[in-house]
Amino acid sequence: MPKVVLLDRDGVINFDSPDYILTPEQWRPIPGSLEAIARLTQAGIRLAIASNQSALGRGMLDQPTFDAIHARMLLCIEEAGGRIDHVGYCPHGPDEGCACRKPRPGLLLNALQALHCPPEEALMIGDSLRDVQAADAAGVPAWLVRSGYGDADAILEKSRRLMPQIPAFADLAAATDALLEEHRCS
């Protein structure tokens, strides 16, 4: 059982949009995701969010609005019985060359350091090739969910070039079912 599960936000916890999530009202949880987080919390797993959020750096929303989106998300998670132990996000654009923007491992490594967890005792659950690349660069196993925005089959094919045995699930609820069942039986 991993000690820490690292979660991408958009496409894993909430519905993603090609136009970004720019208001608290646009933040809508994927059915079953909040309950999945609650089940992971109840299983004693610590949870962290590691999410690229370039809309901030692009000036598409301001910090107070972004903070309100996260406050809504965290409240919904808490109301469902879950807890997020660390929230990390990269506000930079893809051309800024920062160390934190996925596919670079900075966000994941910062979360692991904050939660005092070695990479091999963590699991990244994401919906994009960038999530898998960041996990690979950080030395963290990864799982994919198909609930994100984009061609899930192409994402899985490209991800399997990097991690041939990477499992893919319909959504966070299905991945959580598999994770908890795998460790219940072992």
Active site residues: 8, 10
DSSP character for 36?
H
Separation between Cα atoms, residue 140 and residue 20, nearest integer Å:
27
C-alpha 162: how far from chain center: 18
Gyration radius of the chain's alpha carbons: 15
Length of the chain: 186
Nearest-10 crossing angle of helices 172-185, 33-42: 30
